[in-house]
Each structure stands twice: as structure tokens, then as C-alpha cells.
Amino acid sequence: MSKTEVVVYANQDLLAAAAAARLVTRLVDVQAAKGSASLVLTGGGTGIAVLSELRASTARDAIDWSRLDIYWGDERFVPADSDDRNEKQAREALLDHVPLDPKRVHVMAPSDGEFGDDPDAAAAAYAEVLASNAGPEDHGDVPSFDIMLLGLGGEGHTASVFPESPAVYETERSVVAVRNCPKPPPTRISLTLPAIRRARDVWLMTAGEAKADAVALALSGAGEVQLPVAGARGHRRTLWLLDRAAAGKLTKVYQPPTA
């Protein structure tokens, strides 16, 4: 049975640094247990800040980077060199600074890539990438990702799955194209909630008062159609990593003193 845990940090900087420290520990433990690990990255300010903190960590090379599979939970469907690309931001923050195996970095296609300006083709291709990396133990066409990092929006989106959007109703496909996204850029590629739930651990990382309502609603049982982040659960563990501001509407969790 999956467990849900909430940890609150005094501020956004401590949240990012502590999440990076958690990543080192968890990835090293997973690699010790099975020789490799898989990590799904997210876009957004908190997600990228965690990667920057991981790059700066003196413990980072305890991770065997050569045996780490990197995926994305979503991507902006823009040209490869656009500053809006989650991949570009992740490479600048971390990926280009550690000795990853390039064959194990699974990028979602840009809008000027091999699929041209066709987000449906790019989404279908990424679903194939997931299926080709899923093993018999995964019971399906999506790997059991060891850690999936996710952010969330104030209205409850996660990855690029937005409230009452076509993506939130998707039950068959693992990856979909998202159009007219309320958060720019408008066209994206995203894992669906069923694919997100294939992760062993889902870490929901967010900061700021603007997220406090969505956090409180998600943790009090809101439905995923109106609040997609409520449907982002790991089948082993769901971990909420928050700063005090994002946890501001929670009553039953420990709040550390303001740092």
C-alpha cells in the first residue's frame, strides 16, 4: 500500500537543497539494491532549482551517473534551443555537468526535431521509448520509474496535465500532446496520470503561497479531474516536499521555524 508523506522546509532554498540531498541518498540506495536507477525530471522553478542544488552538492558523485536513466514528465514543444525547453534548463542546471550515459538520457522531441511540428507524433514516439525501456517486471508499457519529480500549479496542474483538460481524462495512452495549455508555452508533451502512477516514488515539490490551496485540496482528497496533482501518486510512496508558504493551509503537519 502506497504511503503519503509531507515534509515542510523553512523556505524555498532549503527545500531545493534538501530535495537534492534526498535525491543523492535515494538514488544511491536504489543503485546499491539493483545496479541502476531511473529518474523523471520536471520543469518549473522548483524542479530546476533542485537540479542546480544537486550539481553543487559535494555528495553528488556518490551517484553512479553512468547507470542512471533520465526521463521527463513533460516538455514544452518548442525548438531545441529555446530557453523554454525543460531539457535545455536541465542540461544547464545539472545534466551537462555530470558523466551521464547519453544513451540513457531519454529526451522528449522538440518542435524542430525528427517529428517536425507534430506534437502527436512526438508524444507517440516517447510512448514507444517508455515501452522499449519497460521490462517484464513492469507489467506494462511504462517503466516503474524509481523517482518521479513533479511540480504543481496553483490551479492544480502537474506535469502538463491541467484541470478538466483532455489529458486528465486519458486512461490508455502513457504520453499525450497538450494544446492550448494555460501555462505558456501552449503546446507541450506530457506523461498522463496513469503513466505517472507507474512510478515507485512520486515527489511533489513546490514552494510559495500561490500553491497552498492546491496542496491543501490535494491532501484532503480532491478529485484528479479538477485537481490533477491529486492523482499524482507513487505505487510505493508519495512524498510532498514543501516550503512553509506552500504548506500554509495544512494544519496537521509539522512546520519548522522560519529560517
- Out of 53, 69, 74, 87, the residue judged to bind ligand 6PG by CB under 6 A: 74
Minimum distance, C-beta of residue 86 to ligand 6PG, in the bound complex (Å) = 5
- In whole angstroms, the minimum distance from the beta carbon of 211 to ligand 6PG comes to 7
| Nearest-approach distance from CB 74 to ligand 6PG, in angstroms | 5
Q: How far is CA 12 from CA 41, 181, 184, in A?
A: 18, 26, 23
Per CB under 6 A, 153 contacts ligand 6PG: yes
Tell me the closest approach of the beta carbon of residue 159 to ligand 6PG, in angstroms. Answer: 5
Q: Binding ligand 6PG by CB under 6 A: which of 119, 143, 151, 156?
A: 151
Contact positions with ligand 6PG (CB under 6 A) in 23-52 = 42-47
C-beta closer to ligand 6PG: residue 74 or 170? 74
Beta-strand (E) ranges in the chain? 3-9, 37-41, 68-72, 74-76, 147-150, 175-178, 188-191, 201-206, 237-243
* Number of residues counted as binding ligand 6PG (CB under 6 A): 16
Q: Shortest approach of ligand 6PG to residue 44 CB, angstroms? A: 3
Residue 193 and residue 35 in contact, taking contact as beta carbons nearer than 8 Å:
no
CB 6 within 8 A of CB 251: no
CA pair distance 61, 41, nearest whole angstrom:
18
Among 104, 183, 235, 249, binds ligand 6PG (CB under 6 A): 183
Q: Which residues pair with 193 in a beta bridge?
A: none
The grid cell for 232 is: 499524482
Q: Is the peptide bond before 185 cis (omega within 30 degrees of 0)?
A: yes
Contacts with ligand 6PG, residue ranges (CB under 6 A): 42-47, 74, 76, 86, 151-153, 157-159, 183
